[in-house]
A and B are shown apart, each in its own frame.
Chain A
């Protein structure tokens, strides 16, 4: 009689292998489901503080016409904390961020309080104006024709946000959508740092 491998392994071996395969497949399925659930429930994009050469330096010039037809010059806003936000209407994280900025601007509407200014990044003035109007954005938004303001601030893609101190120094740079709470947190930290 010839002894084969299956004979040697015994009659229960194939069943045992099938059980093992089912267990492995089940564990892989659960792991995939957990990963999908994790990705689906995590925030779409989170803000990160960026360590850029501008932090600690005098804020580059920020002046130009605004979407509402006026003009803006950061120099004239010395003595106030200023939040500079680069945005575009086509940018999904900017759309996500906009209600938070509206809340921040409303909470800081006092003339002596921190100010918010937008800079249009790679977007047409008319589209950006419609975006601001439709979302309730009432703060000045500077038109950056040619992208030279963005270049001077080292912006790679919207939304990016800078906090400028009353002395005109860039104290923080963020990449990604900000929230009203995170802006308040970072402003408070910056004020502590200045004090």
Chain B
């Protein structure tokens, strides 16, 4: 076991351990596969991401409009027929246009919707780490003998004041 400056580990070790834990947790979470969804679960998941064509901003899963019901039936039939999610999305887009999908497609200008938030987060984290690192490594101001004497004097004065007050309490 190594001690550095009176500490058990160097100061960067806890931060590195935190990064390792986060990376491992994200990796495990991303690679973990649950049981395959049933056709009904797949259809529900697709419905939740399809905009109701005759409503304002809600999915077909949340709407009882006739157009939403028709789309839900069509999605269920296509799932049963073995079509992939992207094939079903493509069919709906071929009828209503890209606006039928609540999740923007990852190409063209809409790709920025997906790219910018994680990029902004990465930049923010990098900036925060840099600022903290600089603060930590910034050279401390040299402490002169006068400063030390001043602090000693203040501490001695504070100790004396404490002693006097405790005596005053005991006096009666």
- Contact indicator A155/B67 (Cβ below 8 Å): yes
Interface residue tally on A, bucketed by range: 10 to 19
The answer to whether residues A146 and B94 also contact, given A156-B54, A157-B54 and a CB cut-off of 8 A, is: no
Contact A151 B54 (CB under 8 A): no
* Residues of chain B lying within 8 A (CB to CB) of residue A122: 66-67
Q: How many A-B pairs fall under 8 Å by CB?
A: 47
**Bound state CA distance, A146 and B71, in angstroms?**
10
Chain A 52-76, CB-CB to B under 8 Å as 1, else 0, gives 1110010010000000000000000
Most buried by B among A121, A151, A156: A151
**Among A121, A146, A153, which residue has its beta carbon within 8 angstroms of that of B95?**
A153
Q: Main SS of the interface on chain B? A: helix
The residues in B between 83 and 105 inclusive whose CB is less than 8 angstroms from any CB of A are 93-97
Residue of B nearest to A57 (CB): B94
Docked CA distance A156–B95 (Å): 10
Interface residues of A in 145-169 (CB under 8 A from B): 146-148, 150-157
Residues of chain A whose beta carbon lies under 8 Å from any beta carbon of chain B: 52-54, 57, 60, 121-122, 146-148, 150-157
Please list the residues of chain B having a beta carbon within 8 angstroms of any beta carbon in chain A. Answer: 53-54, 66-67, 69-71, 73-74, 93-97
